[in-house]
Amino acid sequence: MPSLMEMRHVGQTCSAYDAEDEDAERSCESCVHWKGEEEDCELDIFWEQLTNLDQT
């Protein structure tokens, strides 16, 4: 499971981010593509996005 910090970083830069609520903090946790039970992105892009952040 990714940490809250990782989800925030990826959420800030993810081009597929789509907020569940317009007042929510930008994070994978508040994205419609994030599936809580599975704790992963349904688009299967979280780990790729996170890896790309590490290389910048």
| Cβ contact 12:51 at 8 Å | no
pLDDT of residue 47: 93
pLDDT of residue 55: 67
pLDDT of residue 37: 75
| Helix/strand/coil for 31 | strand
| Cβ contact 33:42 at 8 Å | yes
pLDDT of residue 41: 95
First to last CA, the chain: 23
Whole-model pTM: value is: 0.84
Q: Which segments in the chain show pLDDT lower than 50?
A: none
Over pLDDT 70: what percentage of the chain? Answer: 96
pLDDT of residue 42: 95
Domains of the chain, by residue range, sit at 4-54
